[in-house]
Amino acid sequence: MIDGYCKKQNTAEAMKVFNEIMQRGCRPNISTYNILMNGLVNEGRVGEGVKLRDSMLNKGCAPDLRTFNLLIGGLCKEGDRQGADLLLLHLVEDGLVPNNFTFMVFFDKLYREGKLQTGVSELDELLSEFCLNAVL
């Protein structure tokens, strides 16, 4: 039901179902959280998606790479590069490794801003940092 509501861009109803499930003592899994976050991001409600991630953490459910990619992509689309950078930092601190999609959302944002050359330099720095951290 949650997925269906989100696909129809009705996250308000999806959240009602989600909250009802929680009230009944069920613990949603990472897939359920990601479906909701994707729905929120698609509706332009990225801030609520980030809050849902925080709530998920408080309930003992660890975000996965998809979680981060959804939110980073949404923040980049909104122009919140600082928020996206912060989530990238959390991603690495959680022991996850960014993938092509993670980096492409940053490049897309920089390209749209006419700052692609800056992005190439930043990517080079990020890759060096991640490779160094992976070796250590």
- Return the ∠ at Cα 37 (arms to 34 and 43), rounded to 5°: 140
pLDDT digits (tens, 9 = 90+) for 14-29: 999 999 999 999 999 9
Asked if the model's pLDDT at residue 61 lies above 60, the reply is: yes
pLDDT digits (tens, 9 = 90+) for 26-53: 999 999 999 999 999 999 999 999 999 9
Separation of alpha carbons 125 and 136, rounded Å: 17
> Model-level pTM?
0.84
Asked if the model's pLDDT at residue 130 lies above 90, the reply is: no
Domains and CATH numbers, the chain: 2-135 (1.25.40.10)
Q: What is the DSSP string of 12-64?
A: HHHHHHHHHHHHTT----HHHHHHHHHHHHHTT-HHHHHHHHHHHHHTT----
